Structure 1
Amino acid sequence: MPLRFAYNTNGLAHHRLDDALTLLADTGYDGVALTLDHHHLDPLAPDAEDAARALRRRLDELGLAVMIETGARFLLDPRDKHEPTFVTAASAGRARRAEFLERAVDVAAVLGAETVSFWAGVPKPGVDRGAAWDWLVEGVGRVARHAAARDVPLSFEPEPGMLVEHPGEWERLRDALDPGLPRLRLALDSGHCLVKGDLSPDDAVRRYAGELGTVAVEDMRRGVHDHLAWGEGDMDVPAVLAALDEVGYDRLVTVELSRDSHRAHELVPRTIAYLRASAP
């Protein structure tokens, strides 16, 4: 089965959502990685599930699959990027992150999304890392119970600089959860492997083949967490795609270029052409 490609709407921030979806469909994508945000299906809006039902009809018309991303920068706090998180010191803040992710799960259930992807957060200075770990396990467990009730798969993304930075730490989190819950999948951003340098991107695909809930590809420089367009970094994208094909990966392969919305009209068609030419 050929690999299936999606583009993340956080790289289409200046487009109306329907315009972004139409662009992706017209240029040959198989799906969309939808970052829920104030301008792209706000999950906190009172009519979020109605909007999700309308969006599902539109996705069906366009022939696009969908997965949900939850990394909106200022949706929960307009003054503090990505806050609050699972590792925020204030319990009310941690509860707000969990409530947001539960709403994301509800939207995903309506959309029939392949997965909901999320991450841990960055502990603020002075936060004890042991306490932060306990908060993380508690919060993820809460969201996992909600997702199980809605039959929505969850995928956790190790993110450089956050409490959980690499797949080995994801394994620890996965194993800390209630074994009666559906297994927490790995959201593997192949570029992050270059940042951490502990495992090559294609080797990570092979090692975690049976655990992958979603996979992202982009160019990236070794040791630098900066999502780049093709040819601007050190990523061997054909090797990653070959590994995905080798292990029979059948979910969406997503592209996240969140700092390039100003040139999305160029990168959206260029990206799908590059991926199709690079795939086995």
Structure 2
Amino acid sequence: MSNSLPDASVAAPRLRYAYNTNGASNHRLDDALLLIAEAGYDGVALTIDHHHHDPFAPDFTGRNTRLANQLRELNLGLVIETGARYLLDPRQKHEPTLLAPSATGRARRVEFLTRCLDVCAACQGETVSFWAGVPQPGVEKPQAWDWLLEGVHQVEAAARERGVIASLEPEPGMLVETVDDYLRVQAAVPSLRLALDTGHLLVTGEREPAAAVREFAAQIGTVALEDMRRGVHEHLPFGEGDMDVPTVLQALHAIRFSGLVCVEMSRESPRAHLMIPQSLAYLRQAERQLLPA
């Protein structure tokens, strides 16, 4: 998938939207996929978790085939998200990461990410989005960076073997927090793409979201979009924060972005049946205002 800038005289395609299943965690995956498809989304951002396509449950290969068939029947594209909180350790959120002090812990994270790549390959998904993690107390940053680059090299090698795109997501509070941190990793792993969460840019204050979309047009593997307040890492429904959604959509149109734009409403699971259609209606209305027929 190429997001390089084409001839400006060619009309921009309609943006393609996906909904992240971490915002539908109270629903069975089958039901969540149906709600997403019925609302009119073009895809799903599937957060692999114990209740949504557990990668460590029996018959992994068979379940991947079934999922691929479901997505095909529902006409949904796919991005794989890897932000499950307690899948790998029931006592520590998000642990172990690629920065875990133990080699066993780091290998466990790589195994999980490799299984996510397997799901993506089986379903012909667009990319697998993953993040770095937070250095644990007593771990110096140079050591954390060494472990991170070692793990990213392993993940990227596994992605190439499967014909899958791996995208690194800068996450507030983690070792890779900003898009500049991403560039540091990409310098060592040139084929690594960027998973750009536009809301995170409001938290870190590093760049305006629309400006980052334009700057990283050629490197973006996937985009997440939600509302958020400046300086506060809390995913909000559209219209409740400081995100200039129309400007971001305009930037995505300008770069002819053809991948899935993933709506991440991770706190909205109790009302997912309402938030799923409402979010898409908001985005389509914003698009219509930008690009009148």
Q: Distance in 1 between matches of 2:108 and 2:99?
A: 12
Q: Deviations over 1:141-196 (max 9, x none)?
A: 0111111011000000000000000001101101112x5xxx10000000011011
Match of residue 201 from structure 1: 209
Alignment of 1:137-152 (within 5 A): 137-152=149-164
Q: Please, which of 242, 245, 267 is the counterpart of residue 237 of structure 1?
A: 245
Matched, 1:262 2:270: yes
Match of residue 67 from structure 1: 79
Match of residue 88 from structure 2: 76
Q: Distance in 2 between matches of 1:140 and 1:46?
A: 27
Q: Please, which of 253, 260, 271 is the counterpart of residue 261 of structure 2?
A: 253
SS in 2 for 1:74: coil
Identity, % of aligned pairs?
59
Match of residue 210 from structure 1: 218
Q: Distance in 1 between matches of 2:224 and 2:62?
A: 29
Q: Please, which of 26, 37, 43 is the counterpart of residue 31 of structure 1?
A: 43
SS in 2 for 1:188: strand
Alignment of 1:9-48 (within 5 A): 9-48=21-60
Displaced runs of 4+ in structure 1, greater than 2 A? none
2:106 maps to amino acid: R
Q: Distance in 2 between matches of 1:18 and 1:276?
A: 25
Q: Distance in 1 between matches of 2:182 and 2:66?
A: 35
- Count of matched residue pairs: 276
Q: Distance in 2 between matches of 1:143 and 1:159?
A: 18
Match of residue 4 from structure 2: none
Q: What's the CA shift for 1:230? A: 1.2
Q: What's the CA shift for 1:198? A: 1.5
TM-score, length of structure 2 as denominator length: 0.93
Q: What's the CA shift for 1:8? A: 0.2
Q: Deviations over 1:20-57 (max 9, x none)?
A: 01111111111000001111111122312211110111
2:186 maps to amino acid: R
Q: Which moved more, 1:246-255 or 1:46-55?
A: 46-55
Q: Deviations over 1:175-232 (max 9, x none)?
A: 112x5xxx10000000011011120000000000010000010000001111111121
Match of residue 56 from structure 1: 68
Q: Deviations over 1:248-267 (max 9, x none)?
A: 00000001111110111111
Q: Distance in 1 between matches of 2:109 and 2:51?
A: 19
> What is the RMSD of the two structures over their aligned residues, measured on CA atoms?
0.8
SS in 2 for 1:209: coil
Q: Distance in 1 between matches of 2:68 and 2:159?
A: 19
Matched, 1:174 2:193: no
Q: Distance in 2 between matches of 1:80 and 1:232?
A: 31
Q: Distance in 2 between matches of 1:80 and 1:243?
A: 38
SS in 2 for 1:37: coil
Q: Distance in 2 between matches of 1:204 and 1:47?
A: 41
1:261 maps to amino acid: S
Match of residue 169 from structure 2: 157
Match of residue 129 from structure 2: 117
Unaligned runs of 5+ in 1: none
2:92 maps to amino acid: D
Matched, 1:277 2:285: yes
Q: Please, which of 180, 190, 202 is the counterpart of residue 198 of structure 2?
A: 190
Match of residue 226 from structure 1: 234
1:123 maps to amino acid: P
TM-score, length of structure 1 as denominator length: 0.97
Unaligned runs of 5+ in 2: 1-12
Q: What's the CA shift for 1:110? A: 0.3
